[in-house]
Chain A
Amino acid sequence: MGRTIIKTIVSGLALALYSGAVSAEWEVNLTPGVTDISSSVFDLHMTIFWICVAIALVVFGVMFWSIFHHRKSRGAQAHHFHENTLVEVIWTVIPILILVAMAVPATATLVEMYDTDEAELDVQITGYQWKWRYDYLDQDLNFFSNLSTPREQISNEADKQEHYLLEVDRHLVLPVDTKIRFLLTSNDVIHSWWVPALAVKKDAIPGFINEAWAVINEPGIYRGQCAELCGKDHGFMPVVVEAVSKDEFQQWLAQAQAEKQAEAAAAERTWTLDELMQQGEQVYVRACAACHLPNGEGVPGAFPALKGSPIAMGDVAAHIDIVLNGKSGTAMQAFRDQLSATELAAVITYERNAWGNSLGEAVSPAQIARLLEPSTGEAEQ
């Protein structure tokens, strides 16, 4: 039986070794990442791994040697010794020395991670159930980043694409060779923002601010996920970081700001019911369907149905209020900061006219924009 165990272990080790060589395709090992910190983390990981392998070889080696040679069927006689303080002291001291040797580089890396020097770019990251919001604090820009994998792929009605579940509608675009500080907090429950390639994983805790930092060395797209169980769609709030050159970053900023202005202007024109319904459905699927379900039927006991609900069928002002301002003490969030005026108008219109809620009335984006007005100026500060 010893042989089989050895075989299992050897093949396990071989697999681990092999993994180092082809990690790009196979993804069986930690990524070395694209920051100095992530590569020292990777080195630490490999060092401690090989130390463990070495200890395992010695301990299991002795164990299997005695399993082979000291078996009764080979006529082995038990030798009655049952203590040897010297041996015990030796096998206690050696692990301690190994651990000390391990602690030194680990401490150095940890100290580096806790660097509190000034950063060139500050990004506030706020966890929401179940999306991330990014605020470029000095650039007057913020947006939400939602999962963009279509529902059909998740429910196996369409083929899954390459970045299934690791794709979002808006990337967190960051410049390379720039010290970036992430300031993490949460809107509701505890989330954890994790990008393996940056070796950054920090909890986003409601009411508290946490920080982490990174200097990205290489342009590219780096994907991660929420790491702390945060409710139903915990598995569906990925993080996508797009690292670009400093010039490209400036261009991207300018473009993003222009888009924001265009969106505000769009709210002022007249929208038809059909247009609103069309956009409303998209917004609904993105922002509402996770709880209220695509068919508007909700989850009894957890999330109320919208289909035939007194709010979606009742007074329009109350409906707008609950969508804009949320409802205290429930999972209903305040969407005024999360969606644009047009999107809000569209989704409210949609909710009032979908699934047999046929009120036939449209909520105009301009009307919503006015409700948002006193705020917009201050909120962007």
Chain B
Amino acid sequence: MSDKPTFWQTLMSVLASFLGVQSERNRQRDFRTGRPLHYILTGLLMAALFVIVVILLVRWALSLAGA
């Protein structure tokens, strides 16, 4: 098993950070082998995604409300 975090693992770490929950083991992995730039980029990407998700949520709520 490679020690380098895969894209998937990076993604999960960033998602975990949005919730504010992360396990010690994953953190160790992130900091030992991950590259900060990857996390920052993924973080910004996820922030953009977050905005889109909230916008979709708003649209959905509005369509439900019939407005």
Contacts and interface: CB of A to CB of B under 8 A. Distances in A.
Direct contact of A and B (CB under 8 A): yes
Interface of A: 82-83, 85, 88-89, 92, 107-108, 111, 114
18 contacts: A82-B24, A83-B23, A83-B24, A85-B21, A85-B23, A88-B21, A89-B19, A89-B21, A92-B19, A92-B20, A92-B21, A107-B61, A107-B65, A108-B65, A111-B62, A111-B65, A111-B67, A114-B67
Given A107-B65, A111-B65, 15 more contacts: A82-B24, A83-B24, A85-B21, A85-B23, A88-B21, A89-B19, A89-B21, A92-B19, A92-B20, A92-B21, A107-B61, A108-B65, A111-B62, A111-B67, A114-B67
Interface in B11-58: 19-21, 23-24
A116 B20 CA distance: 40
Nearest to A82: B24
A96 B35 CA distance: 30
Contacts of A114: 67
Nearest to A104: B61
Nearest to A93: B19
Nearest to A114: B67
Nearest to A111: B65
A112 B23 CA distance: 43
Contacts of B23: 83, 85
Contacts of A83: 23-24
Contacts of A108: 65
Contacts of B61: 107
A261 B23 CA distance: 79
A74 B47 CA distance: 47
A111 B61 CA distance: 9
Contacts of B20: 92
A263 B61 CA distance: 53
Contacts of A82: 24
A89 B24 CA distance: 14
A271 to B, nearest CB: 57
Nearest to B26: A85
Contacts of A89: 19, 21
Nearest to B67: A111
- What are the nearest 4 A-B pairs in CB distance? A111-B65, A88-B21, A85-B23, A107-B61
Contacts of B24: 82-83
Contacts of A88: 21
Contacts of A85: 21, 23
A111 B63 CA distance: 11
B44 to A, nearest CB: 22
A92 B67 CA distance: 32
Nearest to A103: B61
A95 to B, nearest CB: 10
Nearest to B21: A88
A164 to B, nearest CB: 42
B54 to A, nearest CB: 11
A83 B24 CA distance: 7
A85 B61 CA distance: 32
Nearest to A107: B61
A224 B67 CA distance: 30
A89 B62 CA distance: 30
A160 B21 CA distance: 57
Contacts of B67: 111, 114
A107 B62 CA distance: 9
A108 B66 CA distance: 10
B30 to A, nearest CB: 14
A108 B61 CA distance: 9
Contacts of B62: 111
A114 B24 CA distance: 47
Nearest to A84: B23
B55 to A, nearest CB: 14
A92 B61 CA distance: 23
A17 B23 CA distance: 41
B28 to A, nearest CB: 11
B23 to A, nearest CB: 4
A89 B16 CA distance: 10
